[in-house]
């Protein structure tokens, strides 16, 4: 549970269009999920204190709360990351210099290095960044992502963000900072879950039809450590606002091993996940983007 002293202040304006008008979508236990009246962006209505955010990503987050995702299925996890490396290759960046933002325990960077990439990472969790350095010998900075943590000479051919932009309290600054670290013809790969997916839409219906009494599905989809919940439309707006040109929007595989809940809920999740992919309402999407030369200069 979130303690009041760990709260900061309500978001007074939309992080995307800066308007203050908003509609409450979900009243959760200790915060609300709201939708901007202007651009339609959906986000958590409070900002967590820096201290609480640090507590969220303690060792327990990786070894207990999210152990299935980070440790319990190493083969499945490595298969995911090898498929992501394959996603990068056709775009033929000019070099092989990569930054992974929110690199967690470093599994993706380890595999990228094996595939011939020169790798670097940044990770807010002391536990995870330490694990990446100690177990894989990776070059990983510990701390919140900020362009100022890098020198003027630090420019990358590829920047990856796998399930991380939705964690940023200020996602637009986050994306702009990342774009500033790209080389002229560099690529950025931004993956996150989609609020306009079939899975999220069904969670919305369950909440609405129960008059807000059945909250668990929307709580699972809107955990406290996620700040912003993009649709494909609002993600496009965010990336274009940050001076990026969208090259591709790619539905991204979410392995069955990581489906949440009981056996019955996993079966339902599997069904809605498959239907969403079939009818162009995918749960997870990767945006492939490049610096927009028109905006750049």
Structure tokens at 14: 């939309």
What pLDDT does residue 182 have? Answer: 94
The DSSP element (H or E) to which 123 belongs, if any, is strand 118-123
- How many C-beta atoms lie closer than 10 Å to residue 278's C-beta? 10
Kindly list the averaged pLDDT for each block of 10 residues, start to end, along the chain of length 297: 50 84 91 94 88 86 90 89 92 90 97 96 96 97 92 93 95 95 94 96 96 94 94 96 94 79 82 92 96 55
What pLDDT does residue 3 have? Answer: 47
- Alpha-carbon distance of 242 to 188, in angstroms, equals 12
> Which domains are seen in the chain, by residue range?
49-193+231-296 (3.40.50.150)
What pLDDT does residue 266 have? Answer: 82
What pLDDT does residue 136 have? Answer: 97
Query: Are the C-beta atoms of residues 227 and 171 closer than 8 Å to each other?
Result: yes
* Token pair 């960044």: residue: 129
What pLDDT does residue 109 have? Answer: 97
- Alpha-carbon distance of 139 to 108, in angstroms, equals 13
* Token pair 């991380």: residue: 164
CA atoms within 13 A on the CB side of 39: 22
What pLDDT does residue 10 have? Answer: 58
CA atoms within 13 A on the CB side of 45: 17
What pLDDT does residue 296 have? Answer: 43
Q: Whole-model pTM above 0.85? A: yes
SS (H, E, C) 44-81: ECEEECHHHHHHHCCHHHHHHHCHHHHHHCHHHHHHHH
């Amino acid at each position: 549970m979130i303690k009041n002293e760990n709260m900061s202040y309500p978001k007074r304006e939309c992080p995307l269009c800066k308007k203050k008008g908003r509609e409450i979508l979900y009243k959760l236990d200790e915060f609300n999920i709201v939708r901007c009246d202007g651009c339609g962006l959906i986000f958590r209505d409070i900002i967590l204190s820096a201290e609480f955010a640090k507590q969220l990503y303690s060792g327990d987050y990786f070894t207990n709360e999210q152990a299935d995702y980070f440790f319990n299925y190493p083969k499945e996890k490595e298969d995911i990351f090898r498929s992501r490396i394959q996603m990068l290759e056709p775009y033929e960046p000019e070099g092989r210099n990569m930054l992974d933002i929110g690199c967690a325990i470093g599994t993706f960077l380890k595999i990228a290095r094996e595939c011939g990439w020169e790798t670097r990472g940044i990770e807010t969790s002391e536990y995870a960044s330490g694990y990446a350095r100690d177990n894989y010998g990776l070059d990983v900075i510990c701390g919140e992502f900020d362009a100022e943590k890098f020198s003027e000479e630090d420019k990358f051919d590829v920047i990856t963000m796998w399930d991380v932009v939705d964690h940023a309290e200020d996602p637009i600054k986050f994306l702009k900072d990342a774009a500033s670290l790209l080389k002229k013809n560099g690529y950025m790969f931004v993956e996150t879950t989609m609020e306009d997916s079939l899975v999220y839409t069904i969670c919305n219906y369950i909440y609405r039809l129960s008059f807000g009494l059945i909250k668990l599905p929307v709580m699972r989809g809107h955990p406290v450590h996620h700040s912003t919940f993009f649709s494909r439309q609002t993600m496009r707006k965010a990336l274009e606002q940050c001076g990026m040109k969208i090259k591709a929007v790619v539905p991204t595989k979410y392995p069955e091993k990581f489906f949440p809940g009981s056996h019955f809920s996993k079966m339902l999740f599997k069904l809605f996940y498959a239907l969403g992919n079939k009818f162009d309402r995918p749960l997870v999407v990767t945006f492939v983007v490049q610096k927009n030369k028109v905006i750049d200069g």
